[in-house]
Structure 1
């Protein structure tokens, strides 16, 4: 619609400008014809020059037919040619009677050419301006149909010279221009519409690709992306934003799927771990019903084993509750903790458990941080206990606690045992994962020790990592901020 309105305004403006130009040109033609008409009307030596006197105003004006028929272009090079076809000239007396006129046809011949209907008011107006350049106006033709541009000039005594040029050529030119403008506007509008359609289709193509991508994603294919999403167009920028959003959605779905898998594995592992002590307790209870109560030694063994398995199950439940609390972000109010004292206490406990083991410790006199002291003690204790349990007897263990200088405290526990197989390293902090399941169960482990270490470090805004000890063995490193940081 805007294009159509613009084309219409342009056509109207062009038509108005050309009409004004042609009107000015027509006025120039009328004034240029004035001296030629005067010469044609004032030839007394030629036949018919004065035969118009006293003529009937309603006559056909053919009084100079013989003379005008011989009036050639070389005598009057502009008058009567195609340049001024239909030019009319007449002389009116003081009584508004037409005393002479000339109406040459094309080729210089006189005939029944249209005659302007000159009103008396126009003649009176010309007489009131003697010696003037004349009055230009538009009048209709006698009998209607055509129009004339008329110039009325006063002449002595009381006569008025009338020169008229028809609007025929100007109207024909304007009609041709109007038709050209209409056709051109239609062509331009059609071409613009076709071009607009092509441009819109090209612009919508990325949106159609997005639609197909969305349909594929809705069908379950989260790997689909919008192709050719360049930054130069709005559709391209939209595609890039959509790809970013899809990547985040895919990552969220993958994370949820991974969490669900871990949850299922966790439930399965927890069920398995609880089933073992429950089965043992059930077995010893059945032995009691079979007469063990009558055999004191067997009864004592059964009760001791029931108590041991119950303690193991209680430890497992406590660990699960601790992990659940850490996952929910619940922790005690942070308080100042002397990490050096915690490490020394853990090492002292380990030496009491295994007096034959060489355990070296290197800590600063005071290493104060802000945190949860019981959980930090449990994390360091789990690492030292693992070093004692999973290495051969007599294997030395080194424990170190230092300040890194950039706002972190670092606790390192290194052993020189067999180490951890490379394929097991990525999983050692997973819950219930055991690199050596048999040995862990024999040692009474639940498979949650390193998981608790990792969870405690994350709850403090720190982290735990593993590396191989030079010469063999495993080294675990805990990084703890001196001031608690938001949990990542």
Structure 2
């Protein structure tokens, strides 16, 4: 119950608590009023009963009607006809010899009581106090017993309590109706009042919610929204919360600005360094190749050293180009999108991969219909090349690598599947990170920069797509989803590259033509990938 109550909105709890408290107060007031009114009426009734008892006492002279009593009326109860007696009063005279005269007034006539009614009122103690008894057929009566002048004789007199009970019942009904009306009116008034009182807190919560929806861990962050000055009054509790939230947002903004400035400096440094390193690296490669191919004969050791210098310069050039591309993507450099068909690009990429890795078995699984996407063709081709190169370099010769293209609703799906040894579970969560490396079971002869899959993720994310990987021994699947391009409109950049078909025809013979061959992979929901 406590958890359920704590999960309710604050305005609901405040309104319900106020109404419950008001209901409790009204109930206490109603009970007090009812008890007071009943006690007052009971006091008046007891006075009437006591007066009736005195009329039956030994020293009272009663007015006796000169008319004879109607036949059949009880005798000895003439005092009930006296002035001021309740018109429904009853009386019982208990004689010393055991005789009993009992009657009740009804329509100005005295009617005898039944044996059950007589027994119900005969046991009232003679103590001078009024007592309540339920008389069968007549209801509740307030009774008093007194002794008469005759030794051993007792007279019991009573008046009905119907009037008192009816009055109390009407008071209770009025109290219930008025209390209900008051609660309804109070609830109707409480709801807007509580909403108005909680308006500043609701605005503060809205500000916090909007700030929490911003992406703060990466990318450029603009100025954070603040709580309005009207809701930061330190004299109120809600204002103190708003002011504290503004101070917190100020600290967060300062930290984010420092982080952004640091990342900007790092990106600028990487971009500038990569740009500046390309020229000396190209010079090193050129001079090494020029020296190795010169007319003068070079000793074998020197020729080997020159080849290694050239190879390492080539590798370092590739690393510099990758770093420069990542720096540009991090900086949000605009891409050059065009509407392209995935199938020709996949065929080209697989053909290049087969030329680079003839020891692997390369297969295609392409649809009959085009799968158009809107992307930068060069960057999309780089994604395909990196995924295929990753499969080639981290699996042994003889591995079957299948590149598949499918259309799944509003998305295009590219899957690169291999039946290699798989990615170790400890490596999966980190292989998408920059400079991540796999273990020796998936190593290659040439060194890896550890940036291939980082570039894949950055390029795919820049185009609004996603990349995922699933791996078990004997099956590794990379899945890239890319938004399908909308229907082409007239314009120079919306048509598919006209050279794609000719490149497809030229490359189609470089792969094993298997329509639907190779395993059809299912998309993995893991965000881990392979380096």
Please give the range of the TM-score, normalised by the shorter of the 2 chains: 0.3 to 0.5
Q: Which has the larger radius of gyration?
A: 1
TM-score, normalization: structure 1? 0.42
TM-score, normalization: structure 2? 0.39
Which structure is higher in RCO with an 8 Å CA cutoff and minimum separation 6? 2
